[in-house]
Protein backbone atom coordinates (compact mmCIF):
# COMPACT_ATOMS: atom_id res chain seq x y z
CA UNK A 1 0.00 0.00 0.00
CA UNK A 2 1.17 3.51 -0.80
CA UNK A 3 2.41 5.49 2.22
CA UNK A 4 -0.08 8.35 1.61
CA UNK A 5 -3.13 6.08 1.90
CA UNK A 6 -5.20 5.26 4.95
CA UNK A 7 -6.53 2.06 3.39
CA UNK A 8 -7.18 0.24 0.14
CA UNK A 9 -10.87 0.53 -0.63
CA UNK A 10 -11.12 -1.46 -3.89
CA UNK A 11 -8.42 -4.02 -4.69
CA UNK A 12 -7.01 -4.67 -8.15
CA UNK A 13 -8.84 -8.02 -8.24
CA UNK A 14 -12.16 -6.42 -7.24
CA UNK A 15 -11.71 -3.72 -9.93
CA UNK A 16 -11.35 -6.43 -12.56
CA UNK A 17 -14.53 -8.13 -11.35
CA UNK A 18 -16.47 -4.84 -11.36
CA UNK A 19 -15.34 -4.01 -14.91
CA UNK A 20 -16.42 -7.41 -16.23
CA UNK A 21 -19.81 -7.21 -14.48
CA UNK A 22 -20.51 -3.74 -15.91
CA UNK A 23 -19.46 -4.85 -19.40
CA UNK A 24 -21.83 -7.83 -19.19
CA UNK A 25 -24.70 -5.49 -18.24
CA UNK A 26 -23.93 -3.18 -21.16
CA UNK A 27 -23.65 -6.12 -23.57
CA UNK A 28 -27.03 -7.40 -22.45
CA UNK A 29 -28.73 -3.99 -22.72
CA UNK A 30 -27.33 -3.03 -26.11
CA UNK A 31 -27.55 -6.50 -27.65
CA UNK A 32 -24.86 -5.85 -30.28
CA UNK A 33 -25.93 -2.33 -31.29
CA UNK A 34 -23.02 0.02 -32.08
CA UNK A 35 -21.84 2.17 -29.20
CA UNK A 36 -19.95 5.43 -28.87
CA UNK A 37 -18.00 5.39 -25.62
CA UNK A 38 -17.27 8.92 -24.38
CA UNK A 39 -14.43 8.80 -21.90
CA UNK A 40 -14.28 11.62 -19.39
CA UNK A 41 -10.63 12.61 -19.12
CA UNK A 42 -8.40 12.08 -17.36
CA UNK A 43 -9.43 9.85 -14.47
CA UNK A 44 -11.78 7.54 -16.37
CA UNK A 45 -9.18 6.39 -18.89
CA UNK A 46 -7.90 3.24 -17.10
CA UNK A 47 -11.45 2.11 -16.30
CA UNK A 48 -12.69 2.82 -19.84
CA UNK A 49 -9.77 1.01 -21.48
CA UNK A 50 -10.41 -2.08 -19.37
CA UNK A 51 -14.17 -1.86 -19.96
CA UNK A 52 -14.11 -1.68 -23.76
CA UNK A 53 -12.04 -4.87 -23.94
CA UNK A 54 -15.14 -6.73 -22.73
CA UNK A 55 -17.78 -5.06 -24.91
CA UNK A 56 -19.34 -7.27 -27.60
CA UNK A 57 -20.46 -4.68 -30.13
CA UNK A 58 -18.89 -2.21 -32.55
CA UNK A 59 -17.29 0.46 -30.34
CA UNK A 60 -16.16 3.96 -31.21
CA UNK A 61 -14.37 6.15 -28.69
CA UNK A 62 -14.23 9.85 -28.10
CA UNK A 63 -12.99 11.98 -25.24
CA UNK A 64 -14.32 14.86 -23.22
CA UNK A 65 -12.52 16.80 -20.54
CA UNK A 66 -14.45 18.67 -17.90
CA UNK A 67 -13.45 19.98 -14.53
CA UNK A 68 -15.33 20.88 -11.41
CA UNK A 69 -12.61 20.20 -8.82
CA UNK A 70 -9.44 22.06 -9.80
CA UNK A 71 -6.98 21.44 -6.96
CA UNK A 72 -9.75 20.98 -4.42
CA UNK A 73 -11.13 17.76 -2.94
CA UNK A 74 -14.77 18.68 -3.53
CA UNK A 75 -16.77 19.82 -6.54
CA UNK A 76 -17.17 23.54 -7.04
CA UNK A 77 -20.49 23.04 -8.84
CA UNK A 78 -19.14 25.02 -11.81
CA UNK A 79 -18.45 22.83 -14.83
CA UNK A 80 -15.57 23.88 -17.07
CA UNK A 81 -15.70 22.16 -20.50
CA UNK A 82 -12.02 21.92 -21.44
CA UNK A 83 -12.38 19.52 -24.40
CA UNK A 84 -15.55 18.58 -26.24
CA UNK A 85 -16.08 15.40 -28.25
CA UNK A 86 -15.21 15.56 -31.93
CA UNK A 87 -18.00 13.39 -33.36
CA UNK A 88 -21.55 14.11 -34.36
CA UNK A 89 -23.60 11.92 -32.01
CA UNK A 90 -26.92 12.26 -33.82
CA UNK A 91 -28.67 8.89 -33.78
CA UNK A 92 -25.90 7.12 -31.84
CA UNK A 93 -26.02 5.11 -28.63
CA UNK A 94 -23.71 6.99 -26.29
CA UNK A 95 -22.12 5.64 -23.12
CA UNK A 96 -20.53 8.25 -20.88
CA UNK A 97 -17.76 6.61 -18.85
CA UNK A 98 -16.83 8.36 -15.61
CA UNK A 99 -14.48 7.29 -12.83
CA UNK A 100 -16.54 8.61 -9.91
CA UNK A 101 -19.86 10.34 -9.43
CA UNK A 102 -20.04 12.69 -6.51
CA UNK A 103 -22.48 15.63 -6.68
CA UNK A 104 -23.89 14.55 -10.05
CA UNK A 105 -23.54 18.05 -11.53
CA UNK A 106 -21.02 17.12 -14.22
CA UNK A 107 -22.85 14.02 -15.48
CA UNK A 108 -26.23 15.71 -15.43
CA UNK A 109 -24.91 18.55 -17.61
CA UNK A 110 -23.09 16.22 -20.02
CA UNK A 111 -26.10 13.93 -20.39
CA UNK A 112 -28.38 16.91 -21.08
CA UNK A 113 -25.88 18.24 -23.64
CA UNK A 114 -25.79 14.90 -25.47
CA UNK A 115 -29.58 14.56 -25.42
CA UNK A 116 -29.80 18.05 -26.94
CA UNK A 117 -27.42 16.85 -29.68
CA UNK A 118 -29.96 14.15 -30.62
CA UNK A 119 -28.17 11.02 -29.48
CA UNK A 120 -30.28 7.88 -29.90
CA UNK A 121 -29.62 6.99 -26.26
CA UNK A 122 -27.39 8.36 -23.52
CA UNK A 123 -26.31 6.05 -20.71
CA UNK A 124 -24.02 6.81 -17.79
CA UNK A 125 -21.46 4.36 -16.46
CA UNK A 126 -19.32 4.95 -13.40
CA UNK A 127 -16.83 2.84 -11.55
CA UNK A 128 -17.42 4.51 -8.20
CA UNK A 129 -20.50 6.20 -6.79
CA UNK A 130 -20.84 8.43 -3.73
CA UNK A 131 -24.65 8.71 -3.47
CA UNK A 132 -24.38 10.47 -0.11
CA UNK A 133 -22.86 13.48 -1.92
CA UNK A 134 -25.49 13.74 -4.67
CA UNK A 135 -27.03 17.20 -5.13
CA UNK A 136 -28.48 16.60 -8.61
CA UNK A 137 -30.82 13.73 -9.44
CA UNK A 138 -29.03 12.04 -12.31
CA UNK A 139 -29.81 8.49 -13.43
CA UNK A 140 -26.70 6.32 -13.44
CA UNK A 141 -27.24 3.24 -15.59
CA UNK A 142 -24.17 1.23 -14.60
CA UNK A 143 -22.40 1.45 -11.24
CA UNK A 144 -19.34 -0.53 -10.23
CA UNK A 145 -19.66 0.03 -6.50
CA UNK A 146 -20.81 2.59 -3.97
CA UNK A 147 -18.15 4.05 -1.71
CA UNK A 148 -18.26 6.13 1.46
CA UNK A 149 -17.69 9.86 1.50
CA UNK A 150 -13.90 9.67 1.47
CA UNK A 151 -11.36 11.23 -0.87
CA UNK A 152 -10.07 8.39 -3.03
CA UNK A 153 -7.20 8.02 -5.48
CA UNK A 154 -5.78 5.35 -7.75
CA UNK A 155 -6.84 3.57 -10.96
CA UNK A 156 -7.00 6.93 -12.74
CA UNK A 157 -8.29 9.01 -9.82
CA UNK A 158 -5.92 11.70 -8.65
CA UNK A 159 -5.19 14.39 -6.16
CA UNK A 160 -3.35 17.27 -7.81
CA UNK A 161 -2.34 14.95 -10.74
CA UNK A 162 -0.75 12.36 -8.42
CA UNK A 163 -1.65 8.71 -7.62
CA UNK A 164 -3.40 7.94 -10.96
CA UNK A 165 -1.02 5.01 -11.57
CA UNK A 166 -1.96 3.02 -8.47
CA UNK A 167 -3.54 -0.30 -9.57
CA UNK A 168 -6.24 -0.10 -6.86
CA UNK A 169 -8.45 2.57 -5.27
CA UNK A 170 -7.45 3.84 -1.84
CA UNK A 171 -8.47 6.47 0.69
CA UNK A 172 -6.01 9.34 0.74
CA UNK A 173 -4.78 10.46 4.17
CA UNK A 174 -6.27 13.83 5.08
CA UNK A 175 -2.80 15.08 6.04
CA UNK A 176 -1.85 14.94 2.33
CA UNK A 177 -4.50 17.46 1.24
CA UNK A 178 -5.06 19.59 4.35
CA UNK A 179 -2.53 22.00 5.76
Which residue segments constitute the domains of the chain, with CATH numbers given?
5-177 (3.40.50.2020)
Q: Provide the greatest CA pair distance for the chain.
A: 51
**Per annotation, catalytic residue among 50, 99, 102, 129:** 102
Q: Which of 113, 112, 126 is nearest to 40 (CA)?
A: 126
| Predicted model pTM | 0.92
Q: What three-state secondary structure class fits 11? A: coil
- Spatial neighbors of 51 by CB under 8 A, at least 6 apart, are 19, 22, 23, 26, 37, 97, 125
Q: How far apart are CA 73 and CA 144, in angstroms?
A: 21
- E strands, the chain, are 5-10, 35-41, 59-67, 80-83, 93-101, 121-129, 142-146, 152-153, 169-172
- What pLDDT sits at residue 70? 52
Question: Over the range 35-73, which residues count as b (16 or more CB within 10 Å of their CB) and which as e?
Answer: bbbbbbbbbbbbbbebbbeebeeeeeeebbebebbeeee
Specify whether 137 is catalytic: no
DSSP string for residues in 53-72: TT--S-EEEEEEEEES-TTS
pLDDT at position 36, please?
98
Q: How far apart are CA 146 and CA 101, in angstroms?
A: 10
Q: What is the pLDDT along the chain (179 residues), one digit of tens a residue?
A: 789 999 999 999 999 999 999 999 999 999 999 999 999 999 999 999 999 999 999 999 999 998 765 555 555 566 788 999 999 999 999 999 999 998 898 899 999 999 999 999 999 999 999 998 899 989 999 999 999 999 999 999 999 999 999 999 999 999 999 86
* pLDDT at residue number 79: 74
Cβ–Cβ < 8 Å for 53, 142: no
pLDDT for 38: 98
pLDDT at res. 56:
98
Amino acid sequence: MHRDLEQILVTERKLSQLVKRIANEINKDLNGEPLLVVIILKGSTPFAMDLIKHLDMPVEMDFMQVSSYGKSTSSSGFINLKKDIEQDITGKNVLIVEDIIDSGNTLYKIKTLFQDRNAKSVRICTLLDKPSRRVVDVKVDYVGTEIPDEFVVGYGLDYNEQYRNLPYVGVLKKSVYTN
